[in-house]
Structure formats: structure tokens, C-alpha cells
Structure 1
């Protein structure tokens, strides 16, 4: 049987039932795979944080398969699941497999600067018409500042990926920042930040 047939969380991940979030994502130009990947990663990170490493590895593998099937080769999200699997293998003493997965993640992350520069930025929800007008008036500055900020986060993620199998203390937080950094809109910044932050902490 497939994962979707045997796992009761599948409807929530894949959006088989009435799903307002999926509807909003699709209206914004996201595919079902975009949102399913994000949900798989969130579920896998929750399992890892709870000490359920076998479940986490299974979900990360599913996210990895989905990313490779649905996303372009340069998409930064293709680095996240291998990075997390590298961490889990390293913790279990599987250094060779961890290093192989780390190398995969780093090959993708080599294009991070290009992907950040190219990411599509959707208008943000604002509390007033004034804020909406100000964003429209200064859109280029707003976009440049946002890309600079996301670029810094991507650089931190690059440092983390380089140290996945070093045994050294992690310098940056990732998963614990996701809830606060996760954009409310479905655009390129959410995809890139997902790649940056849907990573195991510590």
C-alpha cells in the first residue's frame, strides 16, 4: 500500500479534503506539491523533535522524493530533506551516508544567491490602506530589503549545511524560527525560507 493509503495524516498533508489553505495556495500560483512538501517537512520535524527518528526519516524521504519529482533541479527546497536525513544518519553513526546526503544538499545550495535574487515576492497583507499604498510606492526598495534579509538567512543555512557532519555545535537556529518567519502569503519567499528553516535544530 502507498503512504496515502496507510497514513491517517495523508489527507491533511496532501489536501484531499476541503482545505482552505490549499485553495489559497493554488490561487496564488502554488502547486499541490509545493504545499504538500512544506507539510511533510513540518510533520517530519515534529517527529524528529519528539524523538521519533524512524518516522521522521520516512517523512523526510517522502519529502525528498516529492521535491525531486516536482521541483526544478536548482530549487533550494531540494536540499532540505537530504540535509535533515544527513543529521539523522550522523546521529546514528552512519557517517558515510550522512556525508553523501550532505554533499547532495551542498550541491543544491551552491545556487542559493541566484535563487534568492530570482524569488517572486507577493504583496504582503497590511493593516491599512496607507500601508498598502506605501508598499506599492516603494516596492523596489521593499523587495531589495526583503531579498537582502532572506539572503542573510540563506547564508546562515549554508554555514549549517557545511557543518552537518562535523560534530560541532550548530551556530544558527532553523526549525525553531520557522513559525515566526513563515510568510502568510504563498510566494517565492515562502519557498526559499522553507528551504532555509525547515531543518533540524541542534
Structure 2
């Protein structure tokens, strides 16, 4: 207990304090302690990148939804123009003279307006699909960063167990799992 606050040490912290106060005749303990600090630092960076890519994925998915809504609005506008065009076509069938000519002009105007609306709606749908694709890529990277972070956390746990049990195979396992984590982080960095 320090002051009025509880201070809880894990087994790994206790071992590091013991080595700091009493020294260590085991060079392996020192190398594991240094490796653990490096692994923890790299893990923190990987965790940050995982969070950033997850946030990006959410933002990109939101942009995709916005563009999809805008495209839907354009398609609704297109349908409204189609309905007006249909009424004008009916007007052509039911009238004669100048009124009929007026309806024929409206039909042409609605066709031209619909063509413009269709171009805008198609462009918005393409933008939505592009944002969706970017979101999917970011989520893939997020998963890769999360896998790398998890591997590094497991290697830190193996380091603590190795320090406590003095089992050499756990030290080897720690380095192997840490290496796997670094490889996964490298794959995320290279967008694989």
C-alpha cells in the first residue's frame, strides 16, 4: 500500500522489482524483461493502429450510407418525373391541338430531366460502393492489427510465466509468439 491508495503488483511486476532491488545472476531474466518492455511498446502502437482503422471503417461506412441515401433520393425524384411523364403521355392521347403539343413538349422535357437525374443517381451509387469498399478494407486492416496486438499480449503473458517458472521452452514460445505478432503487424502495415 502506498499512501491511501492500493498498489497491486502482478507476478511480472514483482519479478522486475526483485531484480531491480536485488540484482539478477540470470542474464535470461534481464533479456526477458527488456523484450517484454519492447513487446509492450510495439503492442501499444499496434493497438493504436487497430483503433484508428476501426474508426476509419466506421466513418467510411457512414459516408457510404449518406451517399446511398442521396442516390435513393435521386431515384425517388426520377420516379416522380416518370409519373409526370406518364401523365403527359396520357394527356397526348386524350387531347388535341395546342394542348396536345404542350403535353408532347412536357414529355421531352421530362425525358431530358430523367436522364440527368439518372446520371446523378448512378454517380452517387458508385460513390457509395467506393466508400463501402474502403470501409471493408479498413475493417480488414483493423482485424489484422487486432490479431497482431493479441499475439503480443499473449507473448507478454508467456514472458511472465517464463520468469516465474524459469522454463526455457516458455521463453522460446514467448519469442515465437511475439515474432508472429510482429509479422501480423507487418502484414497490416503493408495492407495485406
Q: Is TM more than 0.5 here?
A: no
TM-score normalised by L of structure 2: 0.30
- In terms of Rg, which structure is larger? 2
Question: Which of structures 1 and 2 has the larger relative contact order (alpha carbons within 8 angstroms, sep 6+)?
Answer: 2
